[in-house]
A and B are shown apart, each in its own frame.
Chain A
């Protein structure tokens, strides 16, 4: 794999903040604005209207049930949240795009798919980072099974989303079940991909 062929966009990387002083403050300001933006208002409206509706149909009793359930959930989530977010941050700081490109360079076969799935699962960043990685690997001529296994590994098992969302909201026991159920499936998808005769070369790219 030629490193020069890999383009990697990760707009959310806090590592970029040292290039321009003051950017970090700006980004935190943006985060706060976004954290209390339209989707916050949506959730607030949803919480209020569902609370009102719960009171309307169930009275005091329903309110108490919902609040104690919500309280339990928050109690169990909050202490884990910090750890989950730190795990996401540390793995992100440890894994570089060069590392993943090096792992995947010229791999094929089942072994290649296993490595691709794992690489996809630990690739930090959101969809932009993952799909630009796939685009770069595709241009570099990677095996289609490897590409599909990487995409499935990222979307099904991507650690960053799991740490930021699945652990906080659904808990680690659920995560363990889902992980165990899905761990072989990106390989299955990669094997299917090799049988499907879709020509991946874009005529524009060749010309």
Chain B
């Protein structure tokens, strides 16, 4: 998606907020502004740290495990790694940038992020068990087990055409 398109999407949604009235547009802008304050300094540092780490970590360190050529076993490895990420998006996304820089393949990163978003342990322990209960957590985890692998496999098909 180009820069024009993403700004156009923002403008259309902003227009929709104005049409729907109330204080929707103001609330939307306020949220964007506050999140910018909250996240920008750390996003900035995370990018800097990730670019240095990418230079330090040798390509052949990540490559054999999560590189484009690692194929299905790489997708499995990435799924395991993603499920073990200890924390929220603040940790998972910069890690993905580092892996990319160190030679990981797109399908493997897709599996990594999918596994993290489904299995993120801190989220299960802090929120899900308390708010919904362990029975639902168990059902959700078992049902979602194949998702990261499938996502990685589909992505490796897609990237054959797109890349």
Contact = CB atoms under 8 A, between A and B. Distances in A.
A94 B16 contact: yes
Contact of B135 (A155, A173, A181, A199): A199
Contacts of A164: 35, 39, 89
B48 A47 contact: yes
A91 B93 CA distance: 22
Nearest to B156: A181
B35 A89 contact: yes
B36 A93 contact: no
B118 A85 contact: no
A83 B10 contact: yes
A2 interface: no
Contacts of A43: 42, 45-46, 49, 94
A90 B34 contact: no
A27 interface: yes
Given A180-B158, A193-B140, A35 B48 contact: no
Contacts of B144: 148, 151-152, 189
B61 interface: no
A182 B42 CA distance: 28
B125 to A, nearest CB: 11
Interface residues of B, number: 87
B87 to A, nearest CB: 9
How large, as a class, is the contact surface on chain A?
35 or more
Contact of A156 (B3, B48, B114, B135): B114
A135 interface: yes
B68 to A, nearest CB: 13
A140 B51 CA distance: 48
A86 B14 contact: yes
Interface string B112-146: 01100110100100111001110110111011101
5 contacts: A77-B47, A156-B147, A189-B146, A200-B135, A200-B136
Interface of B: 1-3, 6-7, 9-10, 13-14, 16-17, 20, 23-25, 27-56, 89-90, 93-94, 96-97, 100-101, 106-107, 109-110, 113-114, 117-118, 120, 123, 126-128, 131-133, 135-136, 138-140, 142-144, 146-147, 150-152, 154-155, 158-159, 162
Interface of A: 13-15, 17-18, 24, 27-28, 31-32, 34-36, 39-40, 43-44, 46-47, 50-51, 53-54, 57-58, 62, 65-67, 69-70, 73-74, 77, 79-94, 127-128, 131-132, 134-135, 138, 144, 147-148, 151-152, 155-156, 161, 164-170, 172-178, 180-182, 185-186, 188-190, 192-193, 196, 198-202
